[in-house]
Structure 1
Amino acid sequence: MFTGLVESTCQVTATCRDGRGGMLLCVDLRGLSETIRPGDSVAINGVCLTATAVQDGCCSFDVGPQTLTCTTLGTLRPSDYVNVELPLKVGDRLAGHIVQGHVDGIGLVKAVQGQGQYLRLGIGVDAGLLGMLVPKGSVAIDGVSLTVADIEDWGFWVAIVPHTARVTTIGRLDVGRQVNIEVDVVVKAVRRYLELMEGRSGLTIDRLRSAGFC
Structure 2
Amino acid sequence: MFTGRIGELGAVEQIKGDVLRVRAPKSAGRVRDGGSACVNGVRLTVRPVDDALEAVLSAETRRRSTFDTLAAGDAVNVETPLQVGDPLDGHLVQGYVDAVGKVIRIDDEGGSRRVWLRPPERLLDRLLAKSPIALDGVSVTIAEVLRDRISVVLLPMTRSVTTLGGLKAGDRVNLELDLVGRLVEKAPPSAVGKALPQLPWAGHVDGRAGVEKVLRQLAAGGGVVVWDPETEGEGDVIFAGARLRPESFTFLLTKVCGFPAVPCAPEVLRRLEIAQMPGEGDRQGTAWSIPVDLAAGTGTGVSAAERAATVRKLADPDATAEDFLRPGHVFPLAARPGLLAERSGHTEATVALCTAAGLAPVGVCCEVMNPDGTMAGSADLEVAALRWGMPMVDLADLKAWL
Return the TM-score normalized by structure 1.
0.87
Query: Any unmatched runs of 5+ in structure 1?
Result: 18-22, 195-205
SS at match of 1:35: coil
Matched, 1:74 2:244: no
Matched, 1:90 2:84: yes
1:188 to 176, 182, 192: 182
Alpha-carbon distance in structure 2 between the residues aligned to 1:191 and 1:78: 39
What's 2:8 paired with?
Answer: 8
Change (3 A) 1:162 1:211: closer
Alpha-carbon distance in structure 1 between the residues aligned to 2:77 and 2:125: 26
1:153 to 143, 147, 158: 147
Matched, 1:31 2:201: no
What's 1:111 paired with?
Answer: 105
Residue 186 (structure 1) shift:
1.9
CA contact (8 A) 2:131 2:181 kept: no
CA contact (8 A) 2:30 2:80 kept: no
Alpha-carbon distance in structure 1 between the residues aligned to 2:379 and 2:131: 17
2:159 to 129, 154, 165: 165
Residue 133 (structure 1) shift:
1.0
Q: Percent identity, aligned pairs only? A: 35
Residue 192 (structure 1) shift:
3.9
Count the aligned residue pairs.
198
Q: 1:158-204, CA deviations, whole angstroms, 9 ceiling, x for partnerless residues? A: 0000000000000101100000000111222332455xxxxxxxxxx
What's 1:134 paired with?
Answer: 128
Return the TM-score normalized by structure 2.
0.47
SS at match of 2:382: coil
Alpha-carbon distance in structure 1 between the residues aligned to 2:379 and 2:65: 32
Q: Compare the two structures and name the one with the higher strand fraction.
A: 1
In our comparison, the structure showing a higher alpha carbon Rg is 2
Alpha-carbon distance in structure 2 between the residues aligned to 1:209 and 1:159: 30
The residue type equivalent to 2:13 in the other structure is T
Q: 1:90-145, CA deviations, whole angstroms, 9 ceiling, x for partnerless residues? A: 12111111111011000000011112321110010122211111111111000000
2:38 to 19, 27, 43: 43
Q: Compare the two structures and name the one with the higher helix fraction.
A: 2
Change (3 A) 1:42 1:209: farther
What's 1:174 paired with?
Answer: 168
What's 1:58 paired with?
Answer: 52
Matched, 1:212 2:382: yes
Alpha-carbon distance in structure 1 between the residues aligned to 2:382 and 2:107: 33
CA contact (8 A) 2:27 2:79 kept: no
Alpha-carbon distance in structure 2 between the residues aligned to 1:190 and 1:161: 27
Higher relative contact order (CA 8 A, sep 6+): 1
160-169 or 130-139, which deviates more: 130-139
Alpha-carbon distance in structure 1 between the residues aligned to 2:35 and 2:8: 17
Q: 1:16-37, CA deviations, whole angstroms, 9 ceiling, x for partnerless residues? A: 22xxxxx211000112211211
Change (3 A) 1:193 1:75: same
Change (3 A) 1:209 1:48: farther
SS at match of 1:212: helix
Provide runs of 4+ in structure 1 moved above 4 Å.
206-209
1:123 to 109, 117, 121: 117
